[in-house]
């Protein structure tokens, strides 16, 4: 008898309400558990539940293909294609466009638009308007800051700048400087002058002298430091600051004294701002585009609105540079033009390179596809793609499977296989799983229950049939209230899992097995648990660290117990009461004895006991040399030669009479008064100097 689709317990494809279907109807999609869910209200067909998963749109909506959303109006950066009811993205850098992706109507921030294209700066023969667009300069201007012929900044060839105009010929009193491309004033008194500033004709009441300079008529008979006063009819002295002049004021100088500079008919000690020193005695004006300069061709600061680049003041920075507060700075090395220094601030790329999200690449990077207008971003479903939308994927992110150009997440009854990058079906006993086989279950098909200890779906031991008990089928102790497997259950027959799919069954121990309800128990060792592996690694590292520290401690302890060769130790010379009493009654003498230690002292008992000293003074044993001072001394001072063979010096005082013999055997230190001191005088042979030294010792 045929079963109706509405009577199915489980569906082989998808479930729609209570019916099994081979595919979901329009305005729905299959979710992870194989149930047909409705699309978003704006979608006609979709690949998911969100508004950004539309494949086609509901009526009265436009499909934004690359975003997979459906809107009633195209957003900024898109234009409407009325033929297929879609929104097409504008080319990069366009904030909005019309009819075509490359026909920009506005640009991104910090960019300007020229002829419906977006640039980082206006071209040379244009200027930027208040609405961030580029307009053409007057035909006489090469660069400008406005539309008229009086807004010129630099001029086209064969024209010269004068008062913001570009002239073919300069007016009277000016000459055309071909190097500066400016009209420069002639010298005072000149009506006309040549291109190098030499006067060819003078003004009325001025005379051209032998130096081709115009002077006041009548000044021929005056000295160099005088001028002819036409009012007084005689020669008058120039101003004190001038070397020569055409009048009495300090602004009438024609030359200056030594160490002074001529600047616009004045003699100054240094050129002021806007001028530079030329020919050693003249202050010439900077180019009209410069506010400060160090020479005619090297500006250090520009007039307002201009950009300084390599000593030149420009209206816009050259390609590969951007304006940084009036100074042209380099773009990132892969940018042809840019709006800032970062790698994602490229505006245009070199030939053959592609622009993707503000960066220039030889090829479109992962997550982008190549279009006629640069690299466009793939849909967020895709890892890589070849066109816009969620159906153009060529590869998928992790845990998604590629199915006909669409990246789909695995169903709940599937797991993602990283080797084949596909979704595979779980074991028959698992409703959901994280891998293959019966020991990777996360959920179970009724009436089985999840044994969390080995991720296996089993039945309750209490409910096992006789056949199952006979076949030793796995089971678990179930909780009486919830009916699920107990987390710490040891009552079920379990498998020892090794790896992800192998199982080894422990033998039943006759003496060590646990019994409950008459069933033998098995111990489970899960080596595939990440926690077990991490714990084992941590224990191994701890043991290694302990071993290393133990070795280091042993080496240091051994070194600390080793007495270095030729080391010098301080020793305290003990005094006996008998020696002190005898010395008090004896008359002090100036005699003294010295004991020198030679070679290595291997005494490890520490510091030479009193008995050793008493028994050894005056004898040549234990690598010691006894030296008795002989001859005359100078008061209580005498000198000895010390070498590297001397380890230490000890004083042994000699008393008078009966105490003399005892004093020789009792090492004491003697001061100038013959008193005894507890500490010996020590001479250390380990002095930094290796040469022989003289030691001054007071007895």
pLDDT tens digits, residue range 529-577? 455 668 889 899 999 999 999 999 988 888 876 544 444 444 444 444 4
d(CA 341, CA 88): 30
The DSSP code sequence of 125-175 is TEEE-TTSBEEEPPTTEEEESSSSTT-EEEE-TT-EEETTEEESSPPTTEE
Q: Are 455 and 429 in contact (CB under 8 A)?
A: no
pLDDT confidence of 587, banded at 50, 70, 90? very low
Task: Flag the least confident range among 171-185, 357-371, 400-414, 570-584.
Answer: 570-584
pLDDT tens digits, residue range 428-465? 889 889 999 999 999 998 888 898 888 899 888 877 66
Q: Residue 387, Cβ neighbours under 10 Å: how many?
A: 18
Ordered domains of the chain (ranges, CATH): 349-424 (2.10.220), 426-508+515-530 (no CATH), 577-698 (no CATH)
- Among candidate residues 386, 385, 332, the one with its CA nearest the CA of residue 360: 332
pLDDT confidence of 124, banded at 50, 70, 90? confident
- Reduce the secondary structure of 345-410 to three states and give it as a string: CEEECCCCCEEECCEEECCCCCCEEEECCEEEECCCCCCEECCCCCCCEEECCCCEEEECCEEEEC
Q: pLDDT value at position 188?
A: 85
pLDDT confidence of 294, banded at 50, 70, 90? very high
Residue 361 has pLDDT above 90, yes or no: yes
Q: Residue 58, Cβ neighbours under 10 Å: how many?
A: 16
For the chain, what percent of residues have pLDDT higher than 90? 38
Could you identify the residue written with the tokens 């779906």? Answer: 457
Higher pLDDT, 613 or 629: 629
pLDDT tens digits, residue range 470-517? 666 788 888 878 888 886 544 444 443 333 333 333 333 333 333 333
Q: pLDDT value at position 485?
A: 86
Tell me the residue length of the chain.
699
Cβ within 8 Å of residue 615, ≥6 positions away: 665
**What is the pLDDT averaged over residues 323-344?**
94
**Cα separation values, 691 from 594, 642, 687, Å:** 21, 9, 9
d(CA 396, CA 411): 16
Could you identify the residue written with the tokens 């590292």? Answer: 541
Residue 296 has pLDDT above 80, yes or no: yes
Task: Determine whether 51 is exposed, middle or buried from the number of CB atoms within 10 Å of its CB (0-12, 13-18, 19+).
Answer: middle
Q: pLDDT value at position 609?
A: 41
**Cα separation values, 226 from 28, 190, 215, Å:** 105, 20, 11
Higher pLDDT, 565 or 2: 2
**What is the pLDDT averaged over residues 317-333?**
94
> Within 13 Å of residue 434, how many CA atoms lie on the same side as its CB?
7
Higher pLDDT, 211 or 682: 211
Q: Are strands 475-476 and 456-460 parallel, antiparallel or unpaired?
A: parallel
> How far out from the chain centre does Cα 503 lie?
50
Q: pLDDT value at position 559?
A: 81
pLDDT confidence of 218, banded at 50, 70, 90? confident
Residue 285 has pLDDT above 90, yes or no: yes
> How far out from the chain centre does Cα 402 lie?
37
Q: pLDDT value at position 501?
A: 36
Could you identify the residue written with the tokens 């710490």? Answer: 488
pLDDT tens digits, residue range 57-88? 999 999 998 889 999 999 999 999 988 899 98
> How far out from the chain centre does Cα 63 lie?
41
Residue 363 has pLDDT above 50, yes or no: yes
Q: pLDDT value at position 280?
A: 76
pLDDT confidence of 466, banded at 50, 70, 90? low
> How far out from the chain centre does Cα 38 lie?
47
d(CA 249, CA 245): 9
Task: Flag the least confident range among 199-213, 276-290, 629-643.
Answer: 629-643
d(CA 90, CA 69): 17
What would the two tokens of residue 624 be?
Answer: 């010691």
Could you identify the residue written with the tokens 């005498």? Answer: 638
d(CA 89, CA 65): 9
Q: Residue 576 region, left (φ>0) first, then alpha (ψ -120 to 50), else beta?
A: beta
pLDDT confidence of 676, banded at 50, 70, 90? very low
The mean of the pLDDT values for the chain is: 77
Q: pLDDT value at position 486?
A: 80
Q: Are strands 307-309 and 624-628 parallel, antiparallel or unpaired?
A: unpaired
**What is the pLDDT averaged over residues 19-32?**
87
pLDDT confidence of 626, banded at 50, 70, 90? low
d(CA 510, CA 618): 86
Q: Are 377 and 371 in contact (CB under 8 A)?
A: no
Q: pLDDT value at position 648?
A: 55
pTM greater than the 0.85 cutoff: no
**Collapsed DSSP state (helix, strand, coil) of residue 64:** strand
d(CA 411, CA 13): 11
Q: pLDDT value at position 207?
A: 87
d(CA 6, CA 19): 5
Residue 14 has pLDDT above 60, yes or no: yes
d(CA 34, CA 425): 13
Higher pLDDT, 661 or 357: 357
Q: pLDDT value at position 330?
A: 96
**Collapsed DSSP state (helix, strand, coil) of residue 486:** coil
Q: Which residues, listed in sequence order, are joined to residue 19 by a DSSP beta bridge?
A: 16
Q: pLDDT value at position 49?
A: 86
The DSSP code sequence of 572-637 is B----HHHHHHHHHSPP-S-EEEEEE-S-----S-S--HHHHHHHTTS--TTEEEEE--S--BTTE
pLDDT tens digits, residue range 406-433? 888 887 888 888 888 888 889 988 988 9
Q: CA end-to-end span of the chain, whole Å?
A: 132
pLDDT confidence of 525, banded at 50, 70, 90? very low
d(CA 396, CA 382): 5
Task: Flag the least confident range among 107-111, 257-261, 407-411, 598-602.
Answer: 598-602
pLDDT tens digits, residue range 225-244? 999 888 888 999 999 999 99
């Amino acid at each position: 008898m045929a079963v109706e689709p509405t009577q199915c317990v489980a569906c082989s494809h998808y479930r729609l309400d209570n019916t099994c279907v081979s595919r979901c109807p329009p305005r729905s999609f299959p979710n992870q558990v194989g149930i047909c869910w409705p699309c978003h209200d704006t979608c006609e067909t979709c690949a998911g539940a969100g508004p950004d998963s539309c494949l086609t749109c509901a009526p009265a909506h436009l499909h934004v293909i690359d975003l997979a959303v459906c809107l009633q109006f195209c957003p900024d950066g898109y234009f409407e294609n009325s033929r297929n009811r879609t929104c097409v993205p504008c080319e990069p850098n366009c904030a909005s466009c019309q009819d075509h992706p490359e026909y920009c109507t506005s640009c991104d921030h910090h960019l300007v638009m020229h002829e419906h294209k977006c640039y980082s700066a206006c071209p040379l023969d244009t200027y930027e308007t208040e609405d961030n667009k580029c307009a053409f300069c007057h035909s006489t201007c090469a660069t400008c800051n406005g539309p008229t012929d009086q807004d010129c900044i630099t001029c086209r060839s064969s024209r010269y700048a004068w008062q913001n105009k570009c002239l073919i010929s300069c007016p009277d009193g000016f000459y055309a400087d071909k190097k500066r491309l400016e009209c420069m004033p002639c010298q005072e008194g000149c009506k006309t002058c040549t291109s190098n500033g030499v006067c060819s004709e003078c003004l009325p009441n001025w005379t051209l002298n032998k130096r081709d300079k115009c002077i006041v008529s009548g000044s021929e008979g005056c000295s160099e430091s005088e001028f002819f006063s036409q009012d007084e009819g005689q020669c008058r002295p120039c101003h004190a600051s001038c070397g020569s002049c055409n009048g009495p004021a300090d602004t009438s100088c024609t030359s200056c004294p030594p160490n002074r500079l001529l600047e616009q008919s004045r003699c100054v000690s240094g050129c002021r701002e806007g001028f530079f020193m030329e020919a050693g005695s003249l202050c010439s004006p900077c180019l009209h585009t410069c506010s400060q300069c160090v020479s005619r061709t090297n500006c250090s600061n520009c007039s307002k609105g201009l950009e300084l680049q390599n000593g030149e003041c420009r209206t816009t920075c050259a390609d590969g540079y951007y304006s940084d507060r009036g100074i042209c700075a380099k773009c990132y090395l892969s940018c042809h033009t840019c709006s800032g220094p970062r790698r994602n601030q490229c505006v245009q790329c070199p030939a053959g390179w592609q622009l993707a999200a503000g960066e220039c690449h030889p090829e479109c990077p992962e997550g982008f596809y190549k279009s006629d207008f640069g690299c466009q971003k793939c849909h967020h479903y895709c890892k890589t793609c070849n066109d816009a939308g969620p159906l153009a994927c060529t590869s998928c992110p992790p845990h998604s499977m590629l199915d006909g150009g669409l990246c789909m997440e695995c169903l709940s009854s599937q797991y993602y296989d990283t080797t084949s990058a596909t979704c595979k079906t779980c074991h028959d006993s698992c409703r959901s799983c994280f891998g293959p086989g019966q020991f990777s279950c996360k959920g179970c098909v009724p009436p089985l229950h999840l044994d969390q200890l080995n991720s296996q779906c089993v039945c309750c031991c209490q409910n096992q049939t006789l056949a199952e008990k006979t076949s030793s089928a796995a089971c678990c102790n179930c909780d009486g209230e919830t009916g699920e497997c107990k987390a710490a259950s040891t009552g079920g027959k379990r498998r020892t899992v090794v790896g992800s799919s192998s199982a080894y069954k422990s033998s039943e121990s006759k003496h060590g097995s646990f019994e409950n309800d008459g069933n033998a128990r098995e111990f489970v060792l899960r080596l595939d648990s990440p926690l077990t592996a991490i714990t084992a690694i941590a224990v191994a590292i701890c043991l290694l660290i302990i071993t290393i520290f133990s070795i280091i401690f042993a080496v240091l302890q051994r070194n600390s117990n080793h007495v270095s060769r030729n080391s010098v130790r301080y020793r305290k010379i003990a005094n006996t009461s008998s020696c002190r009493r005898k010395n008090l009654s004896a008359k002090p003498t100036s005699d003294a004895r010295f004991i020198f230690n030679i070679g290595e002292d291997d005494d490890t008992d520490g510091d030479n006991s009193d008995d050793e000293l008493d028994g050894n003074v005056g004898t040549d044993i234990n690598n010691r040399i006894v030296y008795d001072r002989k001859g005359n001394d100078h008061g209580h001072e005498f000198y000895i030669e010390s070498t590297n063979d001397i380890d230490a010096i000890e004083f042994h005082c000699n008393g008078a009479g009966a105490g003399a013999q005892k004093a020789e055997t009792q090492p004491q230190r003697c001061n100038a008064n013959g008193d005894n001191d507890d500490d010996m005088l020590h001479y250390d042979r380990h002095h930094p100097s290796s040469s022989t030294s003289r030691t001054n010792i007071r007895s």
